[in-house]
Structure 1
Amino acid sequence: MSLSYLILGSGAIGKLVGVQLSAAGEDITFLVRDRVAQHIKDNGIKLTGAMGDTSLAKPTITTNLNTVLDSKKIDVVILAVKSFHTSSVINLLKSATKTSPTILCLQNGVDNEDLLSDAFGIENVIPGTVTSAVSISKLGAVNVDRERGIGIAAGHPYSLEIWKAFNSAGFDTLLYPNAKAMKWSKLITNILANATAAICDITPNAIFKHDRLFRLEINAIEETLTVMKGLQLPIVRLPRTPSHWLAFAIKRLPPWSYRAILNNKVSKGRGGKHPSLQVDLLANRNHSEISYLNGTVHRHAKALGLAAPVNHGLANILGRIVAGGIPWDKYRHNPDGLADSLLSGDF
């Protein structure tokens, strides 16, 4: 059974997945904005880096969701937008079709699938995750900085076919019977040295060399693991990511014993690119996924009667910087200032 896919989200992840699947012979349509459509018509879509060089000279694109849904059968919508766009995407899909689409959710965070399930039915949502590090070059090409793989939730009638398609497209793809455990395990890697790098505008390497910030990063992961325990979710092994190893180290070993190893894994793991929250802040974007990363740990902890003060502090401080509530210069290149605020609760 061959499926047809609509890629909703024309960033690095959407293009990566779409290009690889299309090059492998899958039926792929990209939904893009008008300004992006013209660039793709003129230049195609190029993929470079750790998965090799691939070009789609004439990818199938559309700028109108209604048109593509009326003109062809779409089996799976691959959702690869930032988490703060989820609500608008739901409204867009609801206005374009009366039938509930099957959605493969490759977004960061752990709550998007619940929103999608409320809108379209849990039976129409397939959780997924991408563990590869990717970025967009100045020329619009997608660069795979570190190739790892993809996780797909098992149990949906399409899960096995999607797994086959992604593996055939060159992705190291694994099926997971526990979708929430998969998403929460990925959340650990999304949180690590992300918000702190953005707030202070420093590298992960600088974070791990700063005694107090390193300890606070570990505290943030400890809080996340405590919430996972409260939710009765195990850590699962994701394709070529350190989440399982990190959880073991934090639970069993003193921090000094894995500090250098963790620094090396995180620094190499992102392939030299800035963490995602730092990228958005440097680009002066007025949105951030912080609420869906550290913020969601705090919210789930509170619902369980637990505390997650470090995640709460990071989410609150970065959220206020993005919203203009506090000047970035208060913490930019000031790791001691951030450590003081987090440890004192002054945020």
Structure 2
Amino acid sequence: MEGARGSPGLRRGCGPTRPGAAPVQPQAACGGDRAAHHGPAEGATVNVLVYGAGAVGSFVGAVLARAGERVTLLGRPAHAQAVVRDGLHVEGPGGSRTWVRIPAASRPEELDGPFDAVVVTVKGYDTHGAASTIPHLLAPHGRVVCLQNGVGHEEVLAGQVGSGRVVAGAVTTSVSLAAPGRVVQHTRGGVVLASWDGAAVEDVVDGLRRGGLAARSAPDARGLKWSKLLLNLVANATCAVLDLPPGLVYGHPGLFRVERRMLQEAVAVGRALGVRWVDLPGFPVRMLVPALRSPEPVARRVLWRAVSGGRGTKMPSLWHDLARGRTEVAYLNGAVARWGAAVGVATPVNEVLARLVQELSLGLRDRELFRHHPEALMQALAR
């Protein structure tokens, strides 16, 4: 991010039907200061913080460090300690290995700010906590780049730092944390960024490109986040509830129809909100949307390519959430259900999946009742 440059061609992300931040009630307003921020002066040293440096955050941090940016990671103690001690190791999809030496911390008070850019990659349930500390870490001209999954996070961040300082983003590169200090990149993918309300994005895109990652900007933040939401919904909640890998879910006719109905509901809600779908690196979303109306064999092939090409053999994020006892489903299927209620679109499949994932994560339902039992899910959906 060498010297921020404004991007007059970008459309503002704020609009009267933008998805809301709160996991309980959709909101439409963009909060905070609307003045656009354009970053440090040309040639100035850029200080970047990755807030919530797990697999995705550490990967993006490594990319920016390779581009010559000053990057600091804020992550869990074991990971931060490993990075400080041994550096950050990244294994690429072709077996390539890179290593970068960058600072890392596990508590905000340990950080040496202020930062010109804060890249947010925390889990959805940690957004409010992170947002409350970011204003104390951000330089006066600084921006917040939100790379989280789901919808609703940008509004929370904008409420703390001002909507003109927020950049929305979507990452399609599949990565995992093999061990503290070690990231594995499974697919190439890339990053797409969009201004939430006038913030510059092209310098961030340039930094990611210089670090070796496919990156570009998009004109519509809402369309970008809802397009990524569609990909996050595919083979996620269904796999988590049933403890089945995507291949088995898509090989089961009844479960495939559940997936298809769930995605059709999300598309219907997006249509009611006026969402303009955006193609993402490795994912032709604008082809995926009409394919949902195609004959079942065609739809199955298209959706399966989206799953296998984007996630590889990894189990989905909500499956991992259930093991942790905390889940982001409120910002995924839950967001579809909330916005469906707000615009008058029925979303029964998303409502049931969101409720089941939440109840299973809290121990309110016995996981064994659903584990490897598609008929149990079918019965829950039929009620």
With normalisation by structure 2, the TM-score equals 0.83
Q: Give, in whole Å, the separation in 2 of the partners of 1:98 and 1:170.
A: 27
What residue number does 1:55 align with? Answer: 99
What residue number does 1:89 align with? Answer: 130
Range with greater deviation from structure 2 (120-129 or 88-97): 88-97
Count of aligned residue pairs for this structure pair: 338
- Check whether the contact 2:113–2:138 (CA below 8 A) recurs between aligned residues: no
Deviation for aligned residue 1:278:
1.1
1:238 pairs with 2:280? yes
What residue number does 1:187 align with? Answer: 229
Q: Give, in whole Å, the separation in 2 of the partners of 1:246 and 1:97.
A: 38
Distance 1:312 1:10, change over 3 A: same
The structure with the largest helix share of the pair is 1
What residue number does 2:208 align with? Answer: 166
Q: Which amino acid aligns with 1:147?
A: R
SS in 2 for 1:132: coil
- Check whether the contact 2:154–2:168 (CA below 8 A) recurs between aligned residues: yes
Q: Give, in whole Å, the separation in 2 of the partners of 1:35 and 1:183.
A: 31
Distance 1:135 1:98, change over 3 A: closer
Q: Give, in whole Å, the separation in 1 of the partners of 2:177 and 2:74.
A: 18
1:226-265 per-position Cα deviation (integer Å, ceiling 9, x unaligned): 11111101111111114222102114x2222231343244
1:268-303 per-position Cα deviation (integer Å, ceiling 9, x unaligned): 43121111111222xx21211111100000000001
Q: Give, in whole Å, the separation in 1 of the partners of 2:275 and 2:136.
A: 35
Question: What runs of 5+ residues in structure 1 fail to find an aligned partner?
Answer: none
Q: Give, in whole Å, the separation in 2 of the partners of 1:308 and 1:125.
A: 30
Deviation for aligned residue 1:90:
1.5
- Check whether the contact 2:83–2:180 (CA below 8 A) recurs between aligned residues: no
Give the alignment partner of residue 108 of structure 2, picking from 54, 60, 65: 65
What residue number does 1:290 align with? Answer: 329
Q: Give, in whole Å, the separation in 2 of the partners of 1:46 and 1:183.
A: 29
What residue number does 2:352 align with? Answer: 313
Deviation for aligned residue 1:35:
3.5
Q: Give, in whole Å, the separation in 2 of the partners of 1:222 and 1:97.
A: 40
Instruction: State how 1:1-347 maps to structure 2 within 5 Å.
Output: 1=3, 3-50=46-93, 52-56=96-100, 58-66=101-109, 68=111, 71-94=112-135, 101-138=142-179, 140-154=181-195, 156-251=198-293, 253-281=294-322, 284-342=323-381, 344-345=382-383
Range with greater deviation from structure 2 (188-197 or 242-251): 242-251
Range with greater deviation from structure 2 (206-215 or 134-143): 134-143
Task: Say what the alpha-carbon RMSD is for the aligned residues.
Answer: 2.0
Deviation for aligned residue 1:111:
0.5
With normalisation by structure 1, the TM-score equals 0.92
1:159-207 per-position Cα deviation (integer Å, ceiling 9, x unaligned): 1111111111111112111000000000000001100001001011111
- Check whether the contact 1:189–1:242 (CA below 8 A) recurs between aligned residues: no
Q: Give, in whole Å, the separation in 2 of the partners of 1:257 and 1:62.
A: 48
SS in 1 for 2:229: helix
Distance 1:265 1:177, change over 3 A: closer
SS in 2 for 1:75: strand
What residue number does 2:12 align with? Answer: none
Deviation for aligned residue 1:49:
2.2
Higher relative contact order (CA 8 A, sep 6+): 2
Deviation for aligned residue 1:100:
8.4
Q: Give, in whole Å, the separation in 2 of the partners of 1:143 and 1:232.
A: 37
How high is the sequence identity, in percent, across the aligned residues?
Answer: 32
Deviation for aligned residue 1:22:
0.3
